[in-house]
Amino acid sequence: MSNVTMEATTILSILKKKLAFLSGGKDRRSGLILTIPLSSDQTSMEELSTTLDYLLSIPSEKCKARGFTVIVDGRKSQWNIVKTVVLMLQNVIPAEVSLVCVVKPDEFWDKKVTHFCFWKEKDRLGFEVILVSANKLTRYIEPCQLTDDFGGSLDYDHTDWLNKRLIFEKFTKESTSLLDELSIINDSEKTSSMDKDKTADCALLPSFDPETVLQTGHELLSELQQRRFNGSEGGGGGGQGGPAWCPMEEELLAQPQVMKLLDSLREQYTRYQELCRQRNKRTQLDEIHAKVMQVVTWLQGPGSELLKTHQAIGDSIRAAQALQQKHEEIESQHSEWFAVYVELNQQIAALLSAGEEEEVAELKALQQQLSDVCYRQAAQLESRQNVLQAAQSFHSTTQELSQQLDGLLGMLCADVAPADGASIQQNLKLLEEKLQSVEAGLTSLRQKGALLLEQMCSQPSWSLEETESPAGEQQDNVQQIQAVMEEMQLRKQRCEDMVDVRRLKMLQMVQLFKCEEDALQAVEWLGELLDALLKTHVRLGDDSQETRNMLDKHRKFVDVAQSTYDYGRQLLQATVVLCQSLRCTTRSSGDTLPRLNRVWKQFSVSAEERQQRLELALNFHTTAEKVLQQECVEAELLDEVDSLGKTLLDRLTMPVIFPDGSEQYFGSPSDTAAAAEGVRERLLLVEERRLQLQESRLHNDEEEEVPNGQEGRLDVIGEELSEKEEQDEEAEVGQEDEEFERATQNC
């Protein structure tokens, strides 16, 4: 690649105008295509000449030897400007131009003028000039080598190309300058003698950061390898059947030069780094010895005195926290020296691993001495830290346990007046949890006290001159710890005794609330039984057997209600006993007993009425079945059935009158009508039986009075039944009106 005599930065404003560009396309002779897009504005020939000079300085001489194909896009320009540009090519690049393709506009210039001028100037120009329309340009150049302005498929981004070009020139300039500086630094250091008084930094520093320049070069090389300096990877020539073609081949690409510069720069930078490392290693030796002695002197002197004069553990959490804070300050002072120790140890290890130093034995001795002193001091710090942490934990647990005991005692001293059994259970559970928490806290206090005593007795001894241990103070601390644990044990025992008393009282209150709740439940159950009795127990049975079964079930139903009532009475009696035991007189049980008695009286009246109806129905069905089954029936028995049936029908229409004067019917009017209909059907069967018996007795009697009389009786019975049905309908309508009125009032 030829040297660039002109930098893009100096003519950046001109290059941005895109007066000419190398798209990367090639003609059929592998010559580069130079495009000059003329615009409708007046083109500055001076700026165009400058642009061409810069572009022609980029390819190599070998590439230039293959010649250029110049595309002059005159579709938006005038003929005289195109002619000027073509003539200018003779002065700028006469030897490199092989062919000039002038793209003519749709409204062509004067053919005679243009043909004559180019024909006349052909020999003088030294290259062939042809006029061609944009769609005929592919006769001379493959479509894949043309940009989309001429209907080709070659991608070209002038802004991207210009940015990459600026980056390349910047890298070339900086890397070349950096190479010269590094070479001078390395050569001057090589010739100079080894001077131990020099500092670790190099005497000369390069103007540019080598790491930054290398990174820029690698990024540029990666971009060149991937995008071929114009953002494209493969071009498009392979699709025409020819060999694979990549735009901006090695003549235009800066890849070889960048790779060469990177290799040279890495070589010089490696030598420069090695030079700096050697000089740093020389200066480290003297610094290490001085720093080691400085660390050892402080740790064995002021550092040890700080630890020896702070041995207390405090008598409360606040005192322990103050001691902990003081110890953290001591640790902070030690940490600064330990950081120096770590750094020195790493430096010594690095020097020893290099194996280039003559004073290896001295370095090892310094390293061993430094490690012994630091580890011994670190052990003392850790032991002191463990004692303080154990003391702080012990005092914190003591404070928490004392607060727990105070809270438990306050809960035991407060009056218990919960609203229901669930709240009592919750309070009892909370009481048990607090007691368990106190027990766990006391156990934890014993453990932490034992740990503190162990830590106090197991502190490591000093390797140097021992100071007299404050045995009296330590003994006082031991006695204080034991006294605290004994006091907490006594307080916990007193609270346990009070908890036992409170637990018994709360359990009695739970039982009291349970009895009251169950008594209320008994009232509800009894009310449900009464509701079921009045709404669903309406049928009287179709025969004596069914009625007898219903009567047996009714008695069992009444027994269940009686058991429920007795159960509620027993519960209320228990609540009275518990209230007397707890000295609690303001309970809700006084309301429950009247409710229970009121519901039970209503149920008793309803059950008695139900039983009487069933017994009357049983008597009716039994007598009717005798009349229907016997061959000879007396008239008195027939009259008895008729009387029982009418009585039963009258009973069905009557409401139940409760002790408070209120009334309630069994079931709905439709249910009552259905039960009455069964009785009427049985009465009709009995009456038919009466007629059959009378007909058998008067079989030979020819008088018509008797049959007429019987028929008249049947008519009377029919009329009575009709009147009965009308009364039932009126009663049903009246009851429905009453229920609607009550529902309206409730709303």
Question: For residue 729, is pLDDT > 70?
Answer: no
593 contact partners, CB below 8 Å, separation of at least 6: 572
Helix axes 255-298, 210-227, angle to 10 degrees: 150
Q: Which stretch of DSSP H or E encloses residue 102?
A: strand 97-103
pLDDT greater at residue 740 or residue 358: 358
Question: For residue 211, is pLDDT > 60?
Answer: yes
Q: What is the largest CA-CA distance in the chain?
A: 173
The predicted structure's pLDDT at residue 596? 86
615 contact partners, CB below 8 Å, separation of at least 6: 551
| Whether the Cβ atoms of residue 520 and residue 592 lie closer than 8 Å to each other | yes
* Most confident listed range (314-328, 588-602, 708-722): 314-328
Q: What band does 198 get if pLDDT is binned at 50, 70 and 90? A: very low
The string of pLDDT tens digits covering residues 4-31 is 467 888 888 888 888 899 888 888 888 8
Among 285-289, 333-337, 626-630, whose mean pLDDT is lowest?
285-289
What does the radius of gyration of the chain's CA atoms come to, in whole angstroms? 60
The string of pLDDT tens digits covering residues 147-158 is 888 888 888 888
Buried b (16+ CB within 10 A) or exposed e, 699-708: eeeeeeeeee
- Which residues pair with residue 69 across a beta bridge? 33, 99
The predicted structure's pLDDT at residue 502? 78
Q: What band does 358 get if pLDDT is binned at 50, 70 and 90? A: low
pTM of the model: 0.40
Query: Hey, what are 329's tokens?
Result: 């300050």
Strands (E), 581-705: 656-657, 663-664
| Whether the Cβ atoms of residue 453 and residue 387 lie closer than 8 Å to each other | no
The predicted structure's pLDDT at residue 239? 38
d(CA 438, CA 418) in angstroms, rounded, equals 24
Query: Hey, what are 258's tokens?
Result: 């960048």
pLDDT greater at residue 519 or residue 233: 519
The predicted structure's pLDDT at residue 556? 94
Question: For residue 590, is pLDDT > 60?
Answer: yes
Give the residue-averaged pLDDT of 406-415: 79
Q: Which stretch of DSSP H or E encloses residue 69?
A: strand 68-73
pLDDT greater at residue 467 or residue 533: 533
The predicted structure's pLDDT at residue 557? 92
For the chain, which residues make up each domain, given as ranges? 8-155, 303-459, 510-699
* Most confident listed range (106-115, 351-360, 408-417): 408-417
* Most confident listed range (54-58, 355-359, 439-443, 578-582): 439-443
The predicted structure's pLDDT at residue 552? 94
- At 35, is the secondary structure helix, strand, or coil? strand
How remote is the C-alpha of 734 from its chain's centroid? 66
DSSP 183-244: HHHHHHHHHSPP-TTS-SS-SS--SS-HHHHHHHHHHHHHHHHHHTTTT-SS-SGGGGTS--
Any idea how long the chain is?
A: 747
Give the residue-averaged pLDDT of 554-583: 86
Q: Given 3.40.50.720, 3.40.525.10, 3.30.420.10, 3.30.565.10, which CATH number is that of 8-155?
A: 3.40.525.10
| Whether the Cβ atoms of residue 461 and residue 376 lie closer than 8 Å to each other | no
pLDDT greater at residue 89 or residue 355: 89
Q: What band does 461 get if pLDDT is binned at 50, 70 and 90? A: low
Percent of the chain with pLDDT over 70: 79
Helix axes 669-697, 589-629, angle to 10 degrees: 20
**Tokens 């210039």 correspond to what residue?**
109
- With CA atoms as reference, report the closest residue to 189 among 203, 177, 176: 203
Query: Hey, what are 318's tokens?
Result: 């606040």
CATH class held by domain 510-699: mainly alpha
Classify the C-alpha dihedral 725-727-731-737 as positive or negative: positive
Q: Given 3.30.200, 1.20.58, 3.40.50, 1.10.3470, which CATH number is that of 303-459?
A: 1.20.58
- At 589, is the secondary structure helix, strand, or coil? helix
**Reading across the β-sheet that carries 21-26, which strands appear in turn?**
21-26, 32-37, 68-73, 97-103, 128-132
The predicted structure's pLDDT at residue 115? 52
The predicted structure's pLDDT at residue 660? 86
The predicted structure's pLDDT at residue 701? 63
- At 36, is the secondary structure helix, strand, or coil? strand
3-state secondary structure 119-146: HHHHHHHCCEEEEECHHHHHHCCCHHHC
The predicted structure's pLDDT at residue 587? 56
Question: For residue 331, is pLDDT > 80?
Answer: yes
714 contact partners, CB below 8 Å, separation of at least 6: 687, 691
Question: For residue 44, is pLDDT > 50?
Answer: yes
The predicted structure's pLDDT at residue 125? 67
N-to-C CA span, the chain = 105
- Which residues pair with residue 154 across a beta bridge? 147
Q: Which stretch of DSSP H or E encloses residue 595?
A: helix 589-629
706 contact partners, CB below 8 Å, separation of at least 6: 694, 698
CATH topology identical between 303-459 and 510-699: yes
| Whether the Cβ atoms of residue 230 and residue 156 lie closer than 8 Å to each other | yes
Question: For residue 114, is pLDDT > 60?
Answer: no
Percent of the chain with pLDDT over 90: 7
**Number of Cβ within a 10 Å radius of residue 670:** 12
Question: For residue 702, is pLDDT > 60?
Answer: no
d(CA 257, CA 250) in angstroms, rounded, equals 10
Which of 294-302's residues contact partners 24+ apart within 8 Å by CB, and which partners? 294/340, 295/337, 295/340, 295/341, 295/344, 295/370, 295/373, 295/374, 296/369, 296/370, 296/373, 298/337, 299/334, 299/337, 299/373, 299/374, 299/377, 300/373, 300/464
Torsion of Cα atoms, 187 then 189 then 191 then 195, to 10°: 180
Question: For residue 623, is pLDDT > 70?
Answer: yes
